[in-house]
Amino acid sequence: MTNKEAALVLADGTVFEGEAIGVAVPDGISTGEVVFNTVMTGYQEVMTDPSYAGQIITFTYPHIGNYGVNDVDYESRRAFCRGIIVRDPARRTSNHRATGDLSDFLEAQGLAGIGGLDTRRLTRHIRDLGAMPGAFGTADEAALLAAAKAEPGTDGIDLVATVTCDEPYTVDSDGPRRIVAMDFGIKTSILNQLRELGSVEVVPAQTTADEILAREPDGVFLSNGPGDPEPLTHIRDTIGSLLGEVPIFGICLGHQLLSATLGADTYKLPFGHHGGNHPVQRLRDGLVEITSQNHNYAVSEDSLVDAELTHINLNDGTVQGIRSTTAPAFSVQYHPEAGPGPHDSRYLFADFEQLMEDFHATS
């Protein structure tokens, strides 16, 4: 890591000073939508979560990199985020699983970052004014401000196309089921949970309903993914053709797309939910789950059509889960696979297995 002076400039003109870490990018400028994540561990999983495409990740926990990185904890084939912001990047790694340090990871991933920055001040700023475009790097402040103002953010952009797989692939399993997973930016932790139920064929986001049904799946999974669900009309059309034909389970972006297909509206949260300790209440029995979350958009409860509310966020009352009243389909906004993270919600994969069993027992 270098000690070269750098700065972050937000689109509203606010400036934060720090030092450059990671790779040196052309023109000394990296841009994206600046968000914050409150996890204390799992920084490698966060950085390789495709749901962060188009975004710069601010870690609120001050000391990042202390246990290094390894070859196992990747959530996807590479990091899709635009960069990272940390208060105190670790200069020394200590963990028996580590095969490299944070600097090695950033270099290997071609990622730039900024360290030594007042992340508490930045987090408070985003919390008060909302997530916004920004630019960081070693360029002068005027150039960074111009880049920040030119950055489009994530609204109205199909970011799924930038992270989905190019060709179908199969994750083998000894389980009895056949599952097709639509890849909007699917995480490895999710595949690890699904493969306990059966073999999983992962297909690109543009795969049609006919192509999916031709694979004769026992169930279809709608994955997590980045950005705004609104422009993904082609995916909603596909989901609409699958409803009633096969059991469906969705997580995060998959939840938003299922809800929208059923007629609900989605909207952007001020600064999103990004962290590993969000309390969610399961309405069927009042159970409270501690959950991992990573999204900037949510489903409007007042707009729910052909669906019942199943889970709510106890911090702000937002929709966290729905179940279709007209088809065998359900979804949650949070991440029950959570690797690493809370395991309170792993039962949802068993619920998916039961949904497939019930559907095929009566069909």
Told to judge if 81 belongs to the known catalytic residues of this protein, a careful annotator would answer: no
Rounded-to-integer distance, Cα 286 and Cα 173, Å: 34
Instruction: Give the pair of three-digit tokens for residue 233.
Output: 């009309």
Q: Which of 252, 289, 295, 311 is catalytic?
A: 252
Counting beta carbons within 10 angstroms of the beta carbon of residue 210, is it exposed (0 to 12), middle (13 to 18) or buried (19 or more)?
A: exposed
Rounded-to-integer distance, Cα 295 and Cα 189, Å: 17
Told to judge if 337 belongs to the known catalytic residues of this protein, a careful annotator would answer: yes
Helix spans in the chain (H): 43-47, 102-109, 119-129, 141-150, 188-194, 209-213, 233-242, 253-261, 347-362
Instruction: Give the pair of three-digit tokens for residue 180.
Output: 């097709």
Q: Which of 33, 45, 230, 337 is catalytic?
A: 337
Question: Given the DSSP bridges, would you call strands 15-22 and 177-183 parallel, antiparallel or unpaired?
Answer: unpaired
Judge whether 352 and 197 are in contact, CB under 8 Å.
Answer: yes
Amino acid at 357: E
Instruction: Give the pair of three-digit tokens for residue 349.
Output: 């994969």
129 sits in which H/E element: helix 119-129
**Distances from the Cα of 22 to the Cαs of 82, 94, 109, 248, in angstroms?**
12, 20, 9, 40
Judge whether 277 and 317 are in contact, CB under 8 Å.
Answer: no
Told to judge if 335 belongs to the known catalytic residues of this protein, a careful annotator would answer: yes
**Of 117, 118, 119, 152, the residue nearest 32 (C-alpha):** 152
Contacts for 350 with CB less than 8 Å, ≥ 6 apart: none
Instruction: Give the pair of three-digit tokens for residue 132.
Output: 């916004």
Residues noted as catalytic: 252, 335, 337
